[in-house]
Amino acid sequence: MQFYIFELTKELLELPEKQRADYIRKLLIALNYRPTLKMKLKTLIEERDMPLIITEKMAKQDPFYEIGFKKGKKKQKKNT
């Protein structure tokens, strides 16, 4: 469902302004009849705006961290 909403948003942004405004108005009216969908959409929008915080400990636990760290060190040595 999340993917569907993001695709819908992408298509919506490509519409001319007048069509977009009309479509949004109709969508909001439809959402009043689907409270569960309305809450899910609201949650997705809030999650999308949340910052992603990764601590050093979390990064070091990631299996790709060491690979990337080693590649970065090699690149750094090459450039100096």
- Helical residues (DSSP H) of the chain, grouped into ranges: 2-14, 17-31, 35-49, 56-61, 63-79
Query: In this predicted model, which residue has the larger pLDDT, 64 or 41?
Result: 64
Dump pLDDT digits (tens) for 26-56: 877 887 888 887 787 777 777 767 777 778 8
**Is 17 inside any structural domain?**
yes
**Is 37 inside any structural domain?**
yes
Average pLDDT, the chain: 80
**Is 73 inside any structural domain?**
no
Answer yes or no: is pLDDT of 12 > 60: yes
Q: What is the count of structural domains for the chain? A: 1
**Is 80 inside any structural domain?**
no
Quick check: pTM over 0.95?
A: no
**Is 78 inside any structural domain?**
no
**pLDDT in the model for residue 62:** 83
What's the CA angle centered on 26, arms 19 and 23, to 5 degrees? 20
**Is 77 inside any structural domain?**
no
What's the CA angle centered on 35, arms 21 and 27, to 5 degrees? 15
- Print the domain residue range for 41: 2-49
